[in-house]
Amino acid sequence: MTDKEQEVLEIARKFMEEHSDAMKQLAEIERKEFYRFFAIDYLATGEGRSYWLTICRNYQSVDDKDREKEKFSKFVDCDYYMQGFEELTEEEFMQKYAELIPNHVKVQVHRRDQPMFTWETHLHVNYS
Domain boundaries, the chain: 1-31, 34-125
Question: Is 27's pLDDT higher than 60?
Answer: no
pTM to 2 decimals? 0.73
Give how far the C-alpha of residue 88 lies from the chain's centroid of Cα atoms, to the nearest Å: 7
Q: Is 35 strand, coil or helix?
A: strand
Q: What is the pLDDT of residue 118?
A: 94
Residue 118: Cβ-neighbour burial (10 angstroms; 0-12, 13-18, 19+)? middle
Report pLDDT digits (tens) over 41-91. 999 888 899 999 999 999 877 788 899 999 999 999 999 999 999 999 999
Question: Is-contact 56 36, C-beta < 8 A?
Answer: yes
Q: Please state the three-class secondary structure of 39-105 as a single string.
A: EEEEEECCCEEEEEEEEEECCCCCCCCCHHHHHHHHHHCCCCHHHHCEEECHHHHHHHHHHHCCHHH
